[in-house]
Amino acid sequence: MTKGSIVAGVLAPHPPHLVYAENPEQNEPRAECGWETLRWGYERLRKSLEQIEYDSMVVLSPHWQTYVGTHFLGVPSFKSLSVDPIFPNLFRFHYELTVDVPLAETMEAHAREAGLVTKMMRNPDFRVDYGTIVSCHLTRPEWDKPIVSISSHRATQYFSADVMQGHMLKLGRATREAIEASGKRVVLLASNSLSHRHFTSESEVPEDMSREHIYHHGQYLWDMKMIELMRQGRAREIVELIPDFTEQAVAETDSGALTWMLSALDFPEYPAEVHGYGTVIGTGNAIVEWPQARHGGAA
Ligand SMILES: [Fe+2]
């Protein structure tokens, strides 16, 4: 079997507002417009990924939260309605997706062998979390690639951001080794926002962009710092800063997703491609691609 590889890693945030504003047929609410800079960023990402052949997408989502270990989707297909618990007015999405179960099982086995606590999720009635659905939809709205979803175990909340870092560095390495062993070509998605301080009240018209802005200048400075390091190819420094960033910018990197992905990519030293940055209810969101295949990637 030929050796598998990670062909791209993407920071692919999941605000449901972006799906709402796109008006796909699967989503019940209708929007006039909204959050264009981010939606156009996702368009650029999709065009870029069209140049690459790949078999599956693997996503680590902050909204599949597990307290005992890391879980992997392990059922061949899911079909249901996903309703955002905070924004049911924006996101009632009828999803239908397939899972690359053999890849998920290979990843689970490698993670277990690396010493992590793991579990395959085999419940056919499981409701797939909206973070997984939104990131995958915006990256590949055709839903024609099987996915693997990985849970975010809550080590940041239960222990500390540093404990989470240690686990995610291991999980990233195990992910890379599993993908190499699988023979497949895979796109990784870290489904998280950057700074994550929300508005506390919503405008009457959700897509009223006169109300959309960063919440706090300190949050913005942190976002720009992290994005600049991405543009400069300084992945190891990003990972070193993540515990402070998580604490000071209330960043969604608490989920471990970004650390996991940069570890799986083996800390790229080439510049990442920033496809877009913008806020959603005040949270900072960047769509960033590490085109690993074009850089003869380490993975
Ligand atoms: Fe989120």
| Domains, in order of start, for the chain | 5-295 (3.40.830.10)
Ligand 1: distance of its center to the CA of 198 in Å? 10
Ligand 1: distance of its center to the CA of 283 in Å? 10
Q: How far apart are alpha carbons 171 and 261 in whole angstroms?
A: 9
Ligand 1: distance of its center to the CA of 213 in Å? 17
Ligand 1: distance of its center to the CA of 181 in Å? 31
Ligand 1: distance of its center to the CA of 3 in Å? 34
Ligand 1: distance of its center to the CA of 265 in Å? 23
Residue 185 has pLDDT above 80, yes or no: yes
Model confidence at 297, pLDDT cuts 50, 70, 90, reads low
Ligand 1: distance of its center to the CA of 65 in Å? 11
Segment 16-44 shows an average pLDDT of 98
Check residue 201 and give its pLDDT. Answer: 87
Tokens (6 digits) for 45: 């990402």
Which among 25, 54, 177 is positioned nearest to 106, based on CA atoms?
177
Model confidence at 215, pLDDT cuts 50, 70, 90, reads confident
Q: Which of 140-146's residues contact partners 24+ apart within 8 Å by CB, and which partners?
A: 140/46, 140/49, 140/57, 141/22, 141/24, 141/46, 143/95, 143/96, 143/97, 145/54, 145/55, 145/56, 145/57, 146/55, 146/56, 146/57, 146/97, 146/98, 146/99, 146/100, 146/103
* Cβ–Cβ < 8 Å for 285, 13: yes
Ligand 1: distance of its center to the CA of 2 in Å? 36
Per-residue pLDDT reduced to its tens digit, 52-71: 999 999 999 999 999 999 99
Distance between the two ends of the chain, CA-based, in angstroms? 16
Ligand 1: distance of its center to the CA of 131 in Å? 6
Ligand 1: distance of its center to the CA of 261 in Å? 17
Ligand 1: distance of its center to the CA of 252 in Å? 7
CA 257 to each of CA 135, 165, 208: distance values in angstroms, whole numbers, following the listed order: 12, 10, 30
Segment 224-241 shows an average pLDDT of 98
Residue 147: Cβ-neighbour burial (10 angstroms; 0-12, 13-18, 19+) = buried
Ligand 1: distance of its center to the CA of 63 in Å? 6
Segment 271-298 shows an average pLDDT of 93
Residue 299 has pLDDT above 60, yes or no: no
DSSP conformational letter for 31: -
Residue 296 has pLDDT above 80, yes or no: no
Check residue 1 and give its pLDDT. Answer: 76
Tokens (6 digits) for 230: 């991405």
Per-residue pLDDT reduced to its tens digit, 108-143: 999 999 999 999 999 999 999 999 999 999 999 999
- Would the pTM count as exceeding 0.95? yes
Q: What are residue 109's phi and psi, to 5 degrees?
A: -65, -45
Ligand 1: distance of its center to the CA of 130 in Å? 9
Tokens (6 digits) for 93: 């999405």
Q: Which uninterrupted H or E stretch holds 70? A: strand 70-73
Which among 264, 261, 278, 130 is positioned nearest to 193, based on CA atoms?
278
* Cβ–Cβ < 8 Å for 189, 139: yes
Segment 249-265 shows an average pLDDT of 97
What percentage of the chain has pLDDT greater than the value 70? 99
Rounded (5°) CA angle 210-211-213:
100
Residue 200 has pLDDT above 90, yes or no: no
Segment 200-218 shows an average pLDDT of 92
